[in-house]
Structure 1
């Protein structure tokens, strides 16, 4: 069973479905109920996805046995820093290594773009995500933003030319 991870336009059909699934899950967890299609549409409106393309960022899609199963984005913050966002693995594919491959792909991309640090924020209830980041060398750091859903902040220093992971 194999994973592939490759850059993909954030507005491709499969990327758009993955982003909907991501938003539906994080919103549903936050609200304690399933998000409606209308709520998902509203949440995706003006969500900054345009930043997930050159020159301001990147977006990757992970496929498991050819099926679109995961996604993640990268936004360039400054000359040294990029931020991970929308890291998502569909529930049926969790535990198969896809999350680590998403991180590795975006770490490699960040290095290629001259960034030496990756950072992200996440919420208390996204336990699987926090575990994934810790497993792959991300350390909790002091808050670097005041986002309404930011409750944990992580960062990882990227040494030039070292393998990700």
Structure 2
């Protein structure tokens, strides 16, 4: 049972499917109903993922026994900070150790881009994500940005 993580363009079929599943998951939880295909399309349109490629960022796709199962990105905010974004494991692959490996890979990607600190924002209802971040040494910080889907902010020195 093995996980592999590697940088991947956000527009490959696997990356696109994972991004769609990520948006479906977080939007459906927020709205407390299943997101429609049209809502997913709208949510992904113009979402800035084109910046998740060097030198401004990186996007990783994780595979479990060769099956696309996880993704995440880092985006450079300035010369010292990177933002963790779009961290997602498909539900069928949770509990198999991939989340920790994904976090390590994303932190390594941020360091390779020159970041010395990682920050992120999330919602209070995403309790699994918040637990993952705190398990990996992230602590609550003051807000560094604002938006309608941001309830809590975390940071960690790399």
Matched, 1:55 2:55: yes
Note the alpha carbon deviations across 1:17-69, whole angstroms, 9 max, x for none. 00000000000000000000011011111011111112211000010111000
Q: 1:43 aligns to what?
A: 43
State the aligned residue count: 158
Unmatched 5+ residue regions in structure 2?
none
Q: 1:25 aligns to what?
A: 25
Q: 1:115 aligns to what?
A: 115
State the Cα distance separating 1:144 from its structure 2 match.
1.1
Q: 1:90 aligns to what?
A: 90
Whether contact under 8 Å (2:84, 2:118) holds in the other structure is: yes
Q: 1:146 aligns to what?
A: 146
TM-score by length of 1: 0.94
Return structure 1 stretches of 4+ with deviation > 4 angstroms: none
In angstroms, what is the RMSD of aligned CA positions? 0.7
Q: 1:11 aligns to what?
A: 11
